């Protein structure tokens, strides 16, 4: 652990995490520059653990395929303006993914319903799928003073601060995920900001087809 190659790999992962954090802050600020309101939907998706048959595990390749299908569904949502995802791996949970989906707040409401919709889509993709709808527990986040989900206005500094805190969690280094296997692929990704519009109107309608699907950061 004290060797130079090991220390270099740790430093590389931490540097990538800092770069991702800076880029994600810029991404969220850019979305609020384009939209007066964002509906922020947060959910975690994973796989049901069977304690009676612990030998049954989801392969790296299957987890990657399932996530690709879910992201493909998300980026076709008509009111989508952005998204962020972070893949992790736990000794008990196995593969799981933290998702943040950002929708046009002038067009949609009901973050709980959207979280349920996305979670049920995950369950349709994989018969072992489970999910946790963070929007259904917004009051718990509010009581802890870290609410950053639901409908957020661009001028609401408190909710935007909570959103940033939640977003930064998605950029932390997960060393365990790096070790599970080469087929896991990237562990972090986000959308790309659409081009800025001219004029003073806020917000501008932007088709989801104009929001590229990308893993352009150091994941």
pTM: 0.82
Cα 69 from Cα 73, distance rounded (Å)? 6
Distance of CA 217 to the CA centre of its chain: 13
Pairing mode of beta strands 94-104, 150-153: unpaired
Pairing mode of beta strands 188-190, 150-153: unpaired
Question: Interior CA angle at 78 toward 72 and 81, to 5°?
Answer: 80
pLDDT in tens, 189-213: 999 887 665 333 355 444 444 444 4
pLDDT value for 19:
86
pLDDT in tens, 89-99: 887 788 999 99
Q: Which 8-state DSSP code applies to residue 200?
A: S
The domain spans of the chain are: 10-210
Question: Interior CA angle at 147 toward 63 and 87, to 5°?
Answer: 15
Q: Are 171 and 188 in contact (CB under 8 A)?
A: yes
């Amino acid at each position: 652990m004290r060797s130079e190659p090991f220390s270099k790999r740790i430093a590389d992962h931490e540097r990538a995490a800092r770069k991702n954090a800076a880029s994600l802050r810029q991404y969220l600020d850019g979305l609020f520059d384009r939209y007066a309101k964002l509906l922020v939907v947060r959910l975690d998706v994973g796989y049901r653990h069977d304690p009676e048959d612990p030998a049954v595990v989801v392969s790296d390749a299957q987890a990657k395929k399932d996530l690709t299908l879910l992201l493909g569904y998300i980026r076709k949502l008509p009111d989508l303006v952005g998204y962020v995802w972070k893949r992790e791996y736990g000794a008990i949970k196995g593969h799981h993914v933290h998702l943040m989906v950002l929708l046009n707040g002038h067009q949609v409401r009901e973050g709980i319903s959207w979280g349920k919709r996305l979670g049920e889509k995950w369950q349709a993709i994989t018969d072992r799928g489970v999910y946790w709808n963070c929007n259904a527990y917004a009051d718990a986040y509010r009581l802890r003073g870290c609410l950053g989900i639901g409908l957020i206005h661009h001028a609401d500094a408190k909710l935007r601060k909570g959103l940033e805190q939640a977003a930064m969690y998605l950029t932390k280094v997960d060393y365990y995920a790096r070790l599970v296997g080469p087929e896991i692929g990237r562990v972090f990704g986000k959308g790309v900001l659409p081009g800025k519009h001219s004029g003073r109107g806020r917000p501008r309608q932007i088709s989801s087809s104009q929001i590229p699907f990308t893993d352009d950061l150091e994941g």
